[in-house]
Every structure is written in structure tokens, then in C-alpha cells.
Amino acid sequence: RRWIADAGIDAIVTTGGTGFTGRDVTPEAIEPLFEKRMDGFSIAFHMMSHAKIGTSTIQSRATAGVAGATYIFCLPGSPGACRDGWDGILKAQLDYRTRPCNFVEIMPRLDEHLRRPKAQGATV
């Protein structure tokens, strides 16, 4: 919650805890913080993952959302899955040069309903 409230933090990426074992509790811990879920992230992650590991992708509960004006991405813990999530999705979406659209260009408007200082004076 401190990171979400911190005006200097625009995105949080977690790794691990997205499976089904008893210790996999990342979605249960993080999703209640979301104001908006990013269902497309999970879909894109699973599509990309399926191309590489087939139906084993169903063992991941990779998730993402927005809390405050902060993006939160929860990736699986395996190095390959982390690399896929970063290289295949996040690297481009967190780059303002990605067209036709990217996460960076809408950052100033994420918190317009909150009127937090984070959005004031932000530029694209």
C-alpha cells in the first residue's frame, strides 16, 4: 500500500506465488488492492505462454491491475515466465515509444478521479 501511495512509483512487478500450491497466494494478496483489473494482461500472458509451453500455462494465475495511479503486474516465479512477461508484454507497454498505444501515455489520467498530485504536471 505504501508503494501504491508513493508518487514516485508508477509500476510494481512481482514474481512468484501465482500457482496453485499452498504457498501461492500472490493473487489473493494483491488483487483486493486493484481498483481496476487488467484482464487483457492475463490473456496476453497466457497466449504467449501457450505458444511456448502449451497447456501448462493454465497452471499460472498471472494477473495485473491498477491501484491508485500505479500499475501492478504479478508474474509467475520461473525465470522463463518472468522473461516472457517482461520481453513479450511489459517492456513494450512501459515504453512511451510503443505505438499505437502504451501504458505510459495514459499514466497522467489514471488518477484523474483521485486528483492526486502524481498526475499534476505529468507529461507524455
pLDDT band at 108 (very low <50, low <70, confident <90, very high): confident
23 half-sphere exposure, CB direction, 13 A CA radius: 3
Write down the mean pLDDT value for the chain: 92
Residue span of the structural domain in which 24 resides: 2-112
pLDDT band at 122 (very low <50, low <70, confident <90, very high): low
pLDDT band at 9 (very low <50, low <70, confident <90, very high): very high
Asked, for residue 118, whether it belongs to a domain, the answer is: no
Assess contact for 66 and 111: CB atoms under 8 A: no
CATH code of the domain covering residue 77: 3.40.980.10
Average pLDDT value for residue range 63-87:
96
Sheet containing strand 63-67, edge to edge, reads 11-15, 70-75, 63-67, 36-37
Asked, for residue 124, whether it belongs to a domain, the answer is: no
Please give the helix or strand (H or E) that residue 74 lies within, else none.
strand 70-75
Asked, for residue 120, whether it belongs to a domain, the answer is: no
How many domains is the chain partitioned into structurally? 1
Residue 124 confidence (pLDDT) above 60: no
* CA gap 99, 72 in Å, rounded: 21
pTM for the full predicted model: 0.88
* CA gap 39, 50 in Å, rounded: 17
